[in-house]
């Protein structure tokens, strides 16, 4: 294939890759390295609140002084204070549980969409995708309207005489799960739909003709064929939920924090940038395997993508 | 196609009800005449009037719109270049790092991106405010644009460009008069996605903002922490309407293939 790139003959091809490349190096890779560096630094009273300072003006000597002053103190703090460990474990638990709930709820919806008459499908797709475009914050706020003590849910429950005393829904794990499932449902449904929609329905018919019961056909045919969609949906939900901040902050209790809240507190309230950076690095290490897995799925040959 | 089974119809109905009921409640209550969320006191546009008199809120809205417009435009240019590099350049040195940097921000927790960018801005001594938020949003959203444009480029028939080149059209002109029109739907939906992502972002903006550049999500967030207020219902309804209308319009213009790409890019 001939390459059509602006000014390809003038070495323009290199410019095309260089501009976004440099942008990403300066605004993604280098910032990330700074986080690593600061996670190895000490809090100081001065602004910005950390030492040592890398003084490249002093050349090699500067670099050596700098390296000698780095320390793993922040990491040993994270390892020794159970507050952090509890936050990480809690985040992973909540993310795993939310992902399971999302799969249980999302699969029937995606399946229904994929089996709906063809001409309805674009409209259904749009209806599920639309909330994904609208603000996260607004959708969480909508649930506060409903879940607060004198909110609609409790009014409804009292009207139906299902409860006498209005229960407190907010500041609970239930509210966090509702918020997670609600916010991430499109992320689960859309990849599932994409893989289910491509499935050849005659395979199910063949299974039925050969006397396979419906639930077995589902288990042996539908599920394996939609596996790529399941994996994509699970990763797209699990990874960001582990690092979620807004949902547990607004709907959960302040007693038990997820790791995103801990990071936020260290950074904005305690102003301890080095510890906040170490928390971020450990969080990234936890998520590295699923992130790399997701990347491999995305960069694979697009023709075989879900 | 078979007749839809009762189970399929029920799961679609319940799923959509779950997705839309809270939004409907929020919109309806923004027209409630009473200040109390518990009491319905008839329809009124009172809170929209209050909103117009809230100078701080209007200023935040203006900041947010400017940030979103600027960063979406920059992200569309950068993202398109990145997509061209990924699709058209084949193997080049550092390609693995490049595609890694494009795909990582899509799933990386926003907290980490926000923290990293803030530390960069502090390290280079940049004054935090309007421009730092704009640059931060550009970095995040250009990756989404790349995914959308890349998918469109992959599905492009190369013979169209080859024909133009064979007939002696210079590469730059071929790009502008053949390639760009062909990928225009992807550019439009990429810009739109970048715009709405920027409009919605709370976490990255919180890290990278400074005095005088309080975006709408930051202001809404600090108000929400104090409880439910009808004015907030009103501003949320306006934002929902703006995004909803824009998205439906774009989707009518673009092909469903692009919509599915966005969904997969997540």
pLDDT (tens digit per residue) in B158-201: 888 888 888 888 888 888 888 888 888 889 889 988 998 999 89
Better pLDDT: B127 or B246: B127
* % of chain B beyond a pLDDT of 70: 92
- Closest to A35 (Cβ–Cβ): which among B105, B115, B220? B115
Note if the pTM is more than 0.90: no
- The dotted CATH code for A72-304 is 1.10.3720.10
Better pLDDT: B203 or A153: B203
Question: Is the CB of A214 inside 8 Å of chain B's CB atoms?
Answer: no
Looking at residue A283, what is its pLDDT?
Answer: 92
Looking at residue B107, what is its pLDDT?
Answer: 77
Mean pLDDT of chain A: 82
Specify whether the CB–CB gap between B215 and B209 falls below 8 A.
yes
Q: Coil, strand, or helix at residue A51?
A: strand
How close does chain B come to A209, measured CA to CA in Å?
16
Residues in chain B: 266
Question: Is the CB of B12 inside 8 Å of chain A's CB atoms?
Answer: yes
How close does chain B come to A101, measured CA to CA in Å?
13
Per-residue confidence at A92, pLDDT binned at 50, 70, 90?
A: very high
Better pLDDT: A86 or A55: A86
Better pLDDT: A46 or A130: A130
Mean pLDDT of chain B: 85
Question: Is the CB of A250 inside 8 Å of chain B's CB atoms?
Answer: yes
| A residues 61..100 contacting B (CB < 8 A) | none
Beta-carbon separation of B22 and A146 below 8 A: yes
| Domain ranges for chain A | 72-304
Better pLDDT: A216 or B259: A216
- Residue B266: pLDDT above 60? no
pLDDT (tens digit per residue) in A176-195: 999 999 999 999 998 999 88
The DSSP line for A122-153 is HHHHHHHHHHHHS-HHHHHHHHHHHHSTTSHH
Question: Is the CB of B165 inside 8 Å of chain A's CB atoms?
Answer: yes
Q: Which of chain B's residues have a Cβ under 8 Å away from the Cβ of A146? A: 22, 25
Find how far residue A19's CA is from the centre of its chain: 28
- Kindly indicate whether the ipTM for this predicted assembly is greater than 0.90, answering yes or no: no
- Residue A128: pLDDT above 70? yes
Question: Is the CB of B223 inside 8 Å of chain A's CB atoms?
Answer: no
Residue B141: other Cβ atoms inside 10 A: 28
The answer for residues whose C-beta is within 8 angstroms of residue A212's C-beta and 6 or more apart is: A220
Beta-carbon separation of B11 and A299 below 8 A: no
Looking at residue B70, what is its pLDDT?
Answer: 97
CATH architecture of B55-265: Orthogonal Bundle (1.10)
Beta-carbon separation of A194 and B104 below 8 A: no
Q: Comparing C-alpha atoms, which of A255, A256, A262 is closest to residue A276?
A: A262
| Domain ranges for chain B | 55-265
Provide mean pLDDT across the span A5-9: 46
Q: What helix, strand, coil percent values describe chain A, rounded to 5?
A: 75, 0, 25
Per-residue confidence at A198, pLDDT binned at 50, 70, 90?
A: confident
Looking at residue B146, what is its pLDDT?
Answer: 93
Looking at residue A110, what is its pLDDT?
Answer: 93
Dihedrals φ, ψ of A200, to 5°?
Answer: -80, 115
Better pLDDT: A28 or A163: A28
Looking at residue B204, what is its pLDDT?
Answer: 94
Question: Is the CB of A218 inside 8 Å of chain B's CB atoms?
Answer: no
Q: Which of chain A's residues have a Cβ under 8 Å away from the Cβ of B171? A: 3-9, 12
């Amino acid at each position: 294939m001939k390459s059509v790139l602006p000014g390809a003959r003038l070495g323009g091809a290199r410019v095309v890759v260089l501009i976004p490349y440099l942008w990403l190096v300066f605004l993604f890779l280098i910032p990330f390295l700074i986080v690593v560096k600061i996670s190895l630094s000490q809090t100081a009273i001065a602004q910005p609140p950390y030492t040592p300072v890398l003084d490249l003006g002093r050349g090699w000597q500067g670099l050596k002084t700098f390296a000698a002053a780095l320390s793993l103190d922040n990491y040993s703090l994270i390892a020794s204070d159970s507050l952090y460990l509890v936050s990480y474990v809690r985040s992973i638990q909540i993310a795993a549980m939310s992902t399971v709930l999302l799969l249980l709820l999302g699969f029937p919806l995606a399946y229904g969409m994929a089996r709906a008459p063809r001409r309805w499908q674009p409209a259904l797709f749009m209806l599920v995708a639309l909330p994904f475009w609208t603000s996260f914050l607004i959708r969480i706020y909508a649930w506060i309207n409903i879940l607060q003590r004198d909110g609609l849910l409790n009014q409804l429950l009292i009207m139906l005489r299902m409860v006498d005393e209005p229960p407190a829904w907010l500041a609970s794990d239930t509210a966090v799960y509702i918020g997670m499932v609600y916010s991430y449902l499109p992320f689960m449904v859309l990849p599932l739909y994409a893989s289910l929609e491509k499935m050849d329905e005659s395979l199910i018919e063949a299974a039925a003709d050969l006397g396979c019961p419906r639930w077995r056909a589902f288990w042996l045919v539908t599920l394996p064929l939609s596996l790529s969609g399941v994996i994509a949906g699970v990763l797209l939900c699990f990874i960001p939920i582990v690092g979620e901040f807004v949902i547990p902050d607004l709907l959960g209790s302040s007693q038990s924090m997820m790791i995103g809240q801990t990071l936020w507190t260290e950074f904005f309230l305690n102003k301890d940038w080095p510890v906040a950076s170490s928390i971020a690095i450990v969080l990234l290490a936890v998520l590295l395997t699923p992130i790399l897995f997701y990347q491999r799925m995305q960069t694979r040959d697009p023709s075989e993508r879900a | 196609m078979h007749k839809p089974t009762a189970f399929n119809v029920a799961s679609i109905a319940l799923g959509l009800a779950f997705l839309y009921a809270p939004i409907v409640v929020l919109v309806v209550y923004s027209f409630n005449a009473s200040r109390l969320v518990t009491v319905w006191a008839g329809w009124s546009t009172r809170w929209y009037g209050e909103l117009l008199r809230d100078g701080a809120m209007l200023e935040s809205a203006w900041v947010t719109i400017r940030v979103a417009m600027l960063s979406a435009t920059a992200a569309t240019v950068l993202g398109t270049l990145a997509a061209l590099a990924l699709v058209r350049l084949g193997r080049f040195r550092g390609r693995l790092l490049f595609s890694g940097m494009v795909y990582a921000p899509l799933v990386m927790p926003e907290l980490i991106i926000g923290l990293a960018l803030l530390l960069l801005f502090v390290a280079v001594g940049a004054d935090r405010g309007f421009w730092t938020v704009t640059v931060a949003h550009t970095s995040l959203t250009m990756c989404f644009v790349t995914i959308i444009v890349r998918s469109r480029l992959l599905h492009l028939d190369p013979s169209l460009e080859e024909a133009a080149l064979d007939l002696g059209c210079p590469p730059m002109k071929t790009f502008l008069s053949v390639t760009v029109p062909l990928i225009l739907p992807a550019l439009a939906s990429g810009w739109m996605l970048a715009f709405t992502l920027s409009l919605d972002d709370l976490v990255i903006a919180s890290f990278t903002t400074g005095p005088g550049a309080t975006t709408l999500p930051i202001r809404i967030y600090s108000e929400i922490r104090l409880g439910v207020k009808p004015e907030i219902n009103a501003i949320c309804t306006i934002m929902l309407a703006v995004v909803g209308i824009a998205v439906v319009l774009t989707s009518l213009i673009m092909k469903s293939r692009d919509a599915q790409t966005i969904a997969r890019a997540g």
